Amino acid sequence: MMQTNSICCDDISQQNSSTIVVLIIYCISGTFLTLLNKITVALFPYANLLLIVQNTFAVVLLIFCSRYFRSAFGVLPRLNRTVLQLWMPLVLLFVLMLISSLNALMYVSVPTVIVMRNLTSLFVAFLEYLFLNHKTNRLSIFILLGMLGGAGLYAKHDFTFNVQGYVWLSVNIISTSVYQIYIKTIIHSAYFENIGPIRMSYYNNLLSLPVLWIIVCVTGELRRLMMNFELEHSQTMLSIILILMSSLLGFSLSISAFALNKLISATSMMVANNVNKFSLIVLSEILVKSTLDIIASIGAISVLFLGWLYSQTTKSASKSCFVILTIILIIFAALIETQYIKTLRFGNDDYYYKDFQPIMYNQTISYRYPMKAITSMKQRQGYDIYRAYLPQSNKARRSTPRIEVRHVQDYPLPENCRNRNASIWKTCDAHQCQPYTGSINWNYPRKTIFGENITEFNNRILEIAWGPNPPSIDLYLRGGCHGIMEMKYLFESIELFWPRFLGSVIIVLDVSDEPIMKYFLPQHPTHHYLVTFEHTPCLPGRVFNQYSYLNLDRHSRAEYIVTIDSDCIFHAPVTPDLIFRQGKIILPSSQSFQPDLWRRPLEAVMGAGMYDGHYMVTQPVTFARTTFLEFREWFYETKGKCYEDHLAQLSPVHYQEFCWMCQVGSYLERGHAKKNDYDRYWYQHFDNESLEPMIRFAIHVPYEPFSASAVQCREVICYEKSVNEIIRQGLCRAFGPSIFPDCLHNINFNYVNNVTFSYAQFEIQAANRSARIHALNQYFQRLARVTMIALDH
């Protein structure tokens, strides 16, 4: 008798151990599958291809298990015409469920998906009443309505609320509900009377593959993947690993759910599901991103608890639980909502304004800070990401966002110039031009998924990236009347991508150009724009433009000056790593690019053997302000005459290929510049493929058009199309569909990726392909970390 009891106890103990093991596998698979899918769709935004891989993986494993573990899995059924006719509607619903679930994860958080999926019970009850004549008792109806109310409370305070995301969730809920109703109908037919979960899984996964392949072909997912596929790209390898892991977890979840249904009761299974949901929400908040405030948390808990309570409505205690929970939730929701509304109306504005809101007042913008003001700790976290790039600085300065116009200032020639009366220095008559202006059709995302203006969103991120004490940097442009439309495009990109807190945007124009300012300057500036004018000497236009840049330190007081041409636009958020490396200014050049075009004019100015390379290999180009004065002093010391005297004697033959950047760059590398000036720069030679490449953050639009057929792009239609495509690709590449949902559709980054490292229609490229991919990856990883810090506010 004792032996029998021992055997029974051993059997029970062994069964309990098996149940615990299966339960652990089920919980781990269920919890991490959704998290992994959330991460995977962010890295691999091809939902249908992802499903093909996962479903193929499941079919292969089912075939393998049925062959070698037949006692547990049984024999897989064969397909015939009857099966196809009866089961295909179910497969279509199954595919719609999977697609809508993955697409929803692209837009909203994991907790949102978990909470809203619980509303499936409400729709199933409604459909059962309509089609199966299944009546629901009054308590169940109240519980379902309570779930709807809790979901509404959650959605109202959902930080990741997105219309497209909730549309996909609605599709998922409806398709899942119809799926459950249809499957209840079909499994009671004689043909599928003995079908089990294993066979159902086999039918669904196998028959879904041709449907998914059709969808992939129609949507062009495979073509887009092949265009953007880079096997050596670290992100590609990570995506492959995540896809395989998610496929394994999906199969593990199916099998463990099948086994667990045999080992435990329906009530215990419901408890396991709710534990899964709670743990999934908690882990998502910890591992992926925190998205729940107090009110959203109450809404989530109420939906999950009511979902469990709905399964217990046949028990006597369920009514009391429902009444108590309802009273508690109503009191909590009322108190918190009242407090929330009260603080919005009477509270501290600095704390409760979620976004930066510009308020125009006398051409000056004041700012109300975000709901959670940027704390010094958060700023330090963001600053630490870029600290190794930034130079030490004690001259941080902030200018009030406005348009400042300075009167014309005459700058006399230096005292050491002997030929100050040369005819070229006489002021020529100012000719007032008739500018061409036109309206612009912008076509890029204007607001984030949270409704925040893109300029405010970008600047909030850049504030964190540059830290509390950034160096003072001015953006400098020498413009003119005929570049009005170009400048309108450029200033739009400045508002989007250039940090407004580094210094001023300086625009230098001819005296005759005073009337044209109203045509190209932003109407509601968020930066400090400084407009100044110069009398025009009798020099050819290009030469004087170049000469003016060599004296730009007369207009700026910043430590560093980023120079840009009017026919350029920015395409990336300007973080410190784009301008500096190890605290030094990145200065790019090439000796192989167009040497015959620039060597003779440069050596005519600076002397034989002084040509070091072409330094206008990118836009923009950055210099320290002190370099310009030291260059002019060096010229006087080595040539025995001031720069202006030499320019007055220069042959007009060399005017057209006059390059001020080439002169300053060659001075630094060939002219024995002072050590303190030479050491300010990180010399980036494009011809050396072993160097880490420089990332270009602006594009010379006419010479690098979006349209491959346009050798030069100066026509308005071509120029505008290129600008819109450049900005759109730049925003989408930097932030993706999780910030800009528009980026999910028909966006590839081939063009903007190429021009990030190429110049003049790919005539010159920085470093080798592998190094370029790595550099761009690193840039976006840093930007993503700072973006997450900014969103945490």
What pLDDT score was predicted for residue 766?
74
Structure tokens at 239: 């995506």
Residues 6+ apart with CB under 8 A from 450: 159, 354, 355
Q: Which amino acid is at 761?
A: Q
Would you say 206 and 59 are in contact if contact means Cβ atoms under 8 Å apart?
yes
Burial class (CB in 10 A: 0-12, 13-18, 19+), 704: buried
Alpha-carbon distance of 51 to 40, in angstroms, equals: 11
CA distances from 584 to 497, 503, 660, 678, 757 (A): 22, 19, 21, 10, 20
Q: How confident is the model at residue 563 (pLDDT cuts 50, 70, 90)?
A: very high
What pLDDT score was predicted for residue 299?
66
Q: How confident is the model at residue 351 (pLDDT cuts 50, 70, 90)?
A: very low
**Three-class secondary structure of residue 623 per DSSP:** strand
Alpha-carbon distance of 222 to 49, in angstroms, equals: 7
pLDDT at 281 over 50: yes
Q: How confident is the model at residue 341 (pLDDT cuts 50, 70, 90)?
A: very low
CB atoms within 10 A of CB 338: 10
What pLDDT score was predicted for residue 502?
92
CB atoms within 10 A of CB 121: 20
Burial class (CB in 10 A: 0-12, 13-18, 19+), 314: exposed
Q: pLDDT by residue (tens digit) across 442-470?
A: 888 888 887 888 999 999 899 989 988 89
Structure tokens at 547: 């000469």
Q: How confident is the model at residue 262 (pLDDT cuts 50, 70, 90)?
A: low
Among 169-173, 373-377, 665-669, which stretch is predicted with the lowest mean pLDDT? Answer: 373-377
List beta partners, residue 361.
Answer: 364
What pLDDT score was predicted for residue 357?
25
pLDDT at 5 over 50: no
Alpha-carbon distance of 193 to 238, in angstroms, equals: 43
Q: pLDDT by residue (tens digit) across 473-482?
A: 999 999 888 7
Query: Could you identify the residue written with the tokens 């639980």?
Result: 321
Alpha-carbon distance of 116 to 104, in angstroms, equals: 11
What pLDDT score was predicted for residue 322?
53
CB atoms within 10 A of CB 8: 10
| 554-566 mean pLDDT | 93
List beta partners, residue 585.
Answer: 580, 681
- Strand blocks (E) in 536-659: 560-563, 568-570, 580-581, 584-589, 621-624
| 127-156 mean pLDDT | 67
Which of 83-87, 347-351, 551-555, 589-593: highest mean pLDDT? 551-555
What pLDDT score was predicted for residue 234?
46
Instruction: Please state, for a pLDDT cut of 70, what percent of the chain lies above it.
Output: 69
pTM of the predicted protein model: 0.57
CB atoms within 10 A of CB 73: 20
Q: pLDDT by residue (tens digit) across 500-547?
A: 999 999 999 888 888 888 888 888 889 999 999 888 788 777 788 888
**Three-class secondary structure of residue 693 per DSSP:** coil
pLDDT at 375 over 50: no
Q: Which residue has the higher pLDDT, 430 or 58?
A: 58
| 480-492 mean pLDDT | 88
| 178-207 mean pLDDT | 74
